[in-house]
Amino acid sequence: MMAMLWCGLVAAAQTATAQTGVVAHRGLWQAPASAQNSITALALADRAECYGSEFDVWLTADSALVVNHDASFGGLPMETSTLAALQQLSLPNGERMPSLENYLTAAASTSTRLILELKHHSTAERETAAVQRIVAMAERFGLSDRMEYISFSLHACREFVRLAPAGTPVMYLHGDLSPAELHAMGITGIDYHHSVFRAHPEWVEQAHALGMTVNAWTVNDAPTMQYLIALHVDLITTNAPALLQSLLQK
């Protein structure tokens, strides 16, 4: 019964057309056999025709890149563990934790935008090393034109601006800087918690006047989604893509 309901929601989502883009938070993971930041979650976000699939990346102890949200998983810290050790761990749906290479390999057969969050690392040097490797890998896979980079780290955002191809979307997550301050650094968008736009609704218009993108996260209830749609944000990041797409159809 749950699987049938889910298929119906995805089918409805596929017909959605609206100006606000839907970003699946950590992929479309609340479906049967899916899991956060899994290859399945990426594939389902693509199948549901989401604007983008958001995912999280860490630099491991052996300078590899791995896809996971938290600073540790299964008792292993991301930054001080090797990729081989981390890939011995299974996600809740049984998949192995993907490396960024695994993830981009799967992404090559999709069309959804790839919203890569670089996690805040222990040092600026590690963030720079991660950005260098991410940008090079995206180029190697021919995916540079589908990548969008986000981070709570202002240093990481500045490094993406410096190292990614010109025009690559780079958005800051923390919520403490105005659009004008970020625009002066070359950062192309604000990607703030929805509560920030309650406190500063004027930032949406200010960002748009500067040619910047506005994303709101992580929005899972209809009233907040409707408020943000009326505010004309460009993107909404959500754990409930089908709900948001159903609202956008109205």
User: pLDDT, tens digit, for every residue of 159-170?
Assistant: 999 999 999 999
pLDDT given for residue 214 in this prediction: 98
Ranges of the chain with pLDDT below 50 = 1-18
Give the Cα separation of 127 and 63 in Å (integer): 11
* Vertex 69: Cα angle to 103 and 224 (nearest 5): 105
Does residue 137 contact residue 65 with C-beta atoms inside 8 Å? yes
Which CATH code fits 20-248? 3.20.20.190
pLDDT given for residue 19 in this prediction: 85
**Residue 95 carries which DSSP code?**
P
| Dihedrals phi, psi of 188, to nearest 5 degrees | -95, -5
pLDDT given for residue 18 in this prediction: 41
Give the amino acid at 120.
Answer: H
Give the Cα separation of 44 and 37 in Å (integer): 11
Average pLDDT, the chain: 93
Give the Cα separation of 29 and 248 in Å (integer): 21
User: Which pair of structure tokens corresponds to residue 144?
Assistant: 């540079």
